[in-house]
A and B are shown apart, each in its own frame.
Chain A
């Protein structure tokens, strides 16, 4: 069964540094998402992306965050200047159409020191 893959599985970064989290969504999917989960808390929506542009973003997704689909297979989340409170699990998800359940990757654990 096709799956969403995310790399790296764990990223350790110094505060203030830029970080890029990578995702390869399921190949024929058209809608792409990033969520985060702070330890002990619920999964939170960050951003949705369709037709090469952001369709919706949450208040968490401020100017420090950006997303990109640089080619036909990758979907990236960049944090320009990381803060301690960015430490969390980040999940990528994708769907073919908005009537289907989102398929999630296994996440990247981001640790900011």
Chain B
């Protein structure tokens, strides 16, 4: 799945660093948010999700923070590894009934060994 664009924001880190990827969402009524990872030639892969009644959720090496006041999401990756290199998308659910996801533009994460 080619999701690379000439103007895709890029975050370059060293292996072992912590990475923070940010996302601004559009709809204050969105109730569910998901971070996806997309590697070259693949579809979006689920990383972590969070509901609007929470402001933080932790997974294995990943943490998502939600700030509803400013409509901002962040994904923190601890001890970043070369295998984390990919494009990361946030998605917000715009429909509470059947789940309609609206994706952000994506951030490319490059991890150097």
| A35-B91 Cα distance, complex, nearest whole Å | 13
Decide: A106 and B41 in contact? CB cutoff 8 A: yes
Decide: A104 and B99 in contact? CB cutoff 8 A: no
| A31-B98 Cα distance, complex, nearest whole Å | 8
Shortest CB–CB separation between residue B10 and chain A, in angstroms? 14
Residue B5 at the A interface, CB < 8 A? Answer: yes
Decide: B100 and A48 in contact? CB cutoff 8 A: yes
Contact of B44 among A6, A41, A43, A109 (CB under 8 A): A43
Chain A residues contacting B106 (CB-CB under 8 Å) are 42
Q: Which label, helix, strand, loop or mixed, suits the secondary structure of the B interface?
A: loop
Decide: A104 and B44 in contact? CB cutoff 8 A: yes
**Per-residue interface assignment for chain A, residues 73 to 113, with 1 indicating a CB less than 8 Å from any chain B CB and 0 otherwise:** 00000000000000001010001001101111111010000
| A107-B1 Cα distance, complex, nearest whole Å | 7
Chain B residues contacting A102 (CB-CB under 8 Å) are 34, 46, 99, 101
Q: Which label, helix, strand, loop or mixed, suits the secondary structure of the A interface?
A: strand
Which range holds the interface residue count of chain B? Answer: 20 to 34
Residue B102 at the A interface, CB < 8 A? Answer: yes
Shortest CB–CB separation between residue A107 and chain B, in angstroms? 5
| A31-B1 Cα distance, complex, nearest whole Å | 22
Chain B residues contacting A45 (CB-CB under 8 Å) are 100-102
Q: State the 8 A-B residue pairs at the shortest beta-carbon distance, nearest first.
A: A40-B5, A104-B43, A43-B103, A55-B98, A98-B99, A106-B43, A101-B46, A104-B44
